[in-house]
């Protein structure tokens, strides 16, 4: 387990890495995401769970500014937004 | 030794020059009488308002009878939108760009709660002209509103094709020029235009509404002066005109000098890690630059810079106290936190900017490390 990241299973969701930023206001979700992205293999997908609406804009902007790839967003059962990024190839 | 403060947040509230302060005093000394009455003292006060209107009209490029003083840009948006929409009350929709000021968008929703259509912009902040054309060409549009320039990111809209689309469709166009007049040539084609004296170094508490001769409206408000119920403040009107004349006389020189300082800021902050400069790099206001910084919140960055003696602005939700992220930043796909907006005014010196640029990286690093941000390479 790495700082800020858990691999808690979420039902049938095969997502390997989740960053739980629920209840956190900007810019904390982005900081947690960046920490989780450190030292991970290129191509890894990370999913941020957030309740702060700003994350919907900030996660894609983070991906663009750091050269990573924004994959997409979806709603979760608990009302949070799940935003997925794929880390750039080194 | 105490360093002097550096004010880099002049959007919509620039420091008053000594000439503008003198004009305010003259306005109180010579224009205290009620301009609406018939006596000599009132005629003098009225003359000062008329002269001020003429001076501002000349800069906007219209006749003085087309220019009206009004208490604020908010009030101007509210009345002109509701008045034009009332004239065209069979048309249920209002089409506006997604990066208009909140005040304008709120006024539009107040007038047509279910009929406001927001048109998106690209990453530089330019209106999606195809979507705008389709929206305006469809039936049922009471009016359209597009800003001349963004007070938040500085991008200047390409208004000529926008105005042509509106003219072809017979839809009145409101142009919010409240961040551009005094800094650039006034836009030429519009049906209603709003300008903001405090943005060009005039006093707060007054705004300007210009209407083209063919613009029609119906009042949705009590009988009386349509745009300034209760009258116009003579000192504020006079000082607004003096400030605009002063800015116009020095506009080329200021735009060149401040433009070079803005270029320097853009070039320097772009090299900082995790910092992105926003807005169109070329089609923009000469004195405005906005950038967003990863891993900081706007409020901390602002307060730290303020403690160091520098006043800057921020478009961040965290800083504005609102829960919703800034609509402008969201619509251009920018980071909605950690934004810094620098708006220069003529009293800013090259040394001020150099000091700001020297302090910024350290302040940024300090806020980042306090928030536990990952180490930047």
A88–B contact, CB cutoff 8 A: no
The pTM assigned to this predicted structure is 0.93
> What 3 state SS string does B107-164 have?
HHHHHCCCCEEEECECCCCCECHHHHHHHHHCCCEEEEEEECECCCCCEECCHHHHHH
The nearest CA of chain B is from the CA of A66 a distance in Å of: 7
CB contact under 8 A, A65 and B338: no
CATH 3.30.110.40 for domain A17-71, yes or no, is yes
Which residue, B241, B268, B251, is CA-closest to B345?
B251
Comparing CB atoms, the residue among A34, A58, A60 nearest residue B337 is A58
Task: Show Cβ contacts of residue A79 under 8 Å, excluding neighbours closer than 6 positions.
Answer: A51
- CA angle (B173 as vertex; B170, B176 as ends), nearest 5: 175
CA dihedral A53, A57, A61, A62 (to 10 degrees): 20
Residue B319: predicted pLDDT? 44
Above 90 in pLDDT, residue B238?
A: yes
Task: Show Cβ contacts of residue B324 under 8 Å, excluding neighbours closer than 6 positions.
Answer: A53, B317
Above 60 in pLDDT, residue A59?
A: yes
Residue B97: predicted pLDDT? 98
The domain limits of chain B are 18-248, 251-370
| Average predicted confidence (pLDDT) for chain B | 95
Tokens standing for residue B220: 């949705």
Tokens standing for residue B281: 């790099």
CA–CA separation, B141 vs A84, rounded Å?
A: 39
Say which residue the tokens 């004010």 belong to.
Answer: B7
Q: At what angle do helices B350-370 and B251-270 cross, to 10 degrees?
A: 30
Residue B128: predicted pLDDT? 98
Instruction: Tell how strand B141-147 and strand B93-97 pair up.
Output: parallel
The nearest CA of chain B is from the CA of A19 a distance in Å of: 15
Task: Report the complex ipTM.
Answer: 0.85
CB contact under 8 A, A27 and B338: yes
Comparing CB atoms, the residue among A31, A57, A66 nearest residue B371 is A31
CATH number for B18-248 (one of 1.20.1250.20, 2.60.40.10, 3.40.50.300, 3.40.640.10): it is 3.40.640.10
The domain limits of chain A are 17-71
Comparing CB atoms, the residue among B274, B330, B372 nearest residue A57 is B330
B124–A contact, CB cutoff 8 A: no
What sign does the CA torsion over A21, A27, A30, A32 have?
negative
Per-residue confidence at B81, pLDDT binned at 50, 70, 90? very high
CA–CA separation, B376 vs B214, rounded Å?
A: 58
Per-residue confidence at B370, pLDDT binned at 50, 70, 90? very high
Restricting to A residues 18-37, those with a Cβ less than 8 Å away from any Cβ of B are 25-28, 30-31, 34-35
Which residue, B70, B59, B135, is CA-closest to B103?
B70
If you classify domain B251-370 with CATH, what class do you get?
Answer: alpha beta
Burial B308-331 (b: 16+ CB within 10 A, else e): ebbebbbbbbbbbeeeebbbbbbb
**Cβ contacts from A onto B, under 8 A:** 68
Above 90 in pLDDT, residue B192?
A: yes
Restricting to B residues 322-341, those with a Cβ less than 8 Å away from any Cβ of A are 323-325, 329-330, 333-338
Instruction: Tell how strand B310-311 and strand B339-343 pair up.
Output: unpaired
């Amino acid at each position: 387990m790495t700082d800020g990241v858990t691999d808690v299973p979420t039902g049938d969701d095969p997502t390997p890495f989740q960053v739980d930023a629920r209840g956190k206001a900007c810019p904390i979700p982005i900081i947690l995401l960046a920490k989780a992205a450190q030292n991970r293999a290129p191509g890894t997908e990370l999913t941020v769970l957030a309740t702060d609406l700003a994350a919907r804009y900030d996660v894609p902007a983070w991906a663009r500014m750091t050269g990573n790839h924004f994959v997409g967003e979806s709603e979760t059962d608990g009302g949070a937004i799940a935003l997925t990024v794929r880390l750039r190839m080194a | 030794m105490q360093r002097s403060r550096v004010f880099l947040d002049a959007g919509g509230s620039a420091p008053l020059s000594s000439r503008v302060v003198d004009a305010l005093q003259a306005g109180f000394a010579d224009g205290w009488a009620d301009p609406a009455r018939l006596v000599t003292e009132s005629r003098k006060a009225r003359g000062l308002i008329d002269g001020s209107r003429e001076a501002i009209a000349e800069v906007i490029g219209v006749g003085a009878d087309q220019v009206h003083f009004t208490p604020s840009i908010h009030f101007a948006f509210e009345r002109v939108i509701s008045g034009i929409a009332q004239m065209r009350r069979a048309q249920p929709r209002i089409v506006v760009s997604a990066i208009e000021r909140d005040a304008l968008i709120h006024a539009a929703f107040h007038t047509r709660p279910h009929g406001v259509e927001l048109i998106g912009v690209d990453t530089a902040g330019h209106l999606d002209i195809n979507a705008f054309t389709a929206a305006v060409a469809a039936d049922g549009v009471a009016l359209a509103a597009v800003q001349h320039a963004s007070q938040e990111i500085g991008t200047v809209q390409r208004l000529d094709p926008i105005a042509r689309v509106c003219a072809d469709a017979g839809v009145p166009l409101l142009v919010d020029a409240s961040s551009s007049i005094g800094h650039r040539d006034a836009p030429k084609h519009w049906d209603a235009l709003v300008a903001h004296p405090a943005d060009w170094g005039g006093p707060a508490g007054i705004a300007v509404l210009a209407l083209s001769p063919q613009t029609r409206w119906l009042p949705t408000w009590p009988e009386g002066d349509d745009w300034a119920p209760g009258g116009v403040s003579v000192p504020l009107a006079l000082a607004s005109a003096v400030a605009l004349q002063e800015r116009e006389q020095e506009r080329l020189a200021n735009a060149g000098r401040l433009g070079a300082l803005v270029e320097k800021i853009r070039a320097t902050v772009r090299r900082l890690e995790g910092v992105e400069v926003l807005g169109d790099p070329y089609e923009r206001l000469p004195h405005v630059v906005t950038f967003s910084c990863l891993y900081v919140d706007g409020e901390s960055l602002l307060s730290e810079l303020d403690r160091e003696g520098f006043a800057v602005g921020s478009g961040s939700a965290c800083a504005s106290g609102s829960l919703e992220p800034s609509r402008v930043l969201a619509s251009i796909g920018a980071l909605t936190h950690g934004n810094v907006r620098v708006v220069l005014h003529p009293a800013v010196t090259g040394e001020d900017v150099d000091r700001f640029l020297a302090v910024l990286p350290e302040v940024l690093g300090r806020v980042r490390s306090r928030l536990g941000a990952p180490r930047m390479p």
